[in-house]
Amino acid sequence: MARLVYFLLGLLVGRWLSDLMREWAETPTVDEPTPSPRPALAVPNKSAAQESAAEPDDLTQITGLGATAAKALNDIGIRTFAQLAAQSEDELVQRLPTRVATRVRRDKWIEQAKKLSAR
């Protein structure tokens, strides 16, 4: 008699699990959002030929911008004061590593670059 009770109980649990799995399989899944691409860097009004001929500036003349930060800027294609001055702060912060990006606003690199490129 006990075997019959266990058998029937097993059938009921199996049916319940089967229904539960069917509901789970029919539930729509939520797709993870794809990360948005990083915006392209703004390019100064100079032509490509003029830009390639221009000598790179010593970006470390900007207060708060050391050799590591200058290398990070060079890595993303910024080599002159004019190129740095043409950037928006938000865009620049997104493109730079966090340890460097925190100083862009604090030390006002873009304002300093505008003054130095006007010379």
Q: Summarize pLDDT for 70-110 with one digit per residue, the tens.
A: 999 999 999 999 999 999 999 988 998 888 888 898 999 99
Q: Rounded to two decimals, what is the model's pTM?
A: 0.55
Q: Give the pLDDT mean for 4-10.
A: 91
Answer yes or no: is pLDDT of 33 > 70. no
Which ranges of the chain would DSSP assign to H, the alpha helix? Answer: 2-26, 48-53, 67-75, 81-85, 89-95, 98-106, 109-118
Cα 85 from Cα 98, distance rounded (Å) = 20
Classified by CATH at the fold level, domain 48-118 comes out as DNA polymerase; domain 1 (1.10.150)
Q: Is the pLDDT of residue 35 over 50?
A: yes
Which whole number is the average pLDDT over 62-72? Answer: 91
**What does the pLDDT read at residue 44?**
53
pLDDT of residue 49: 44
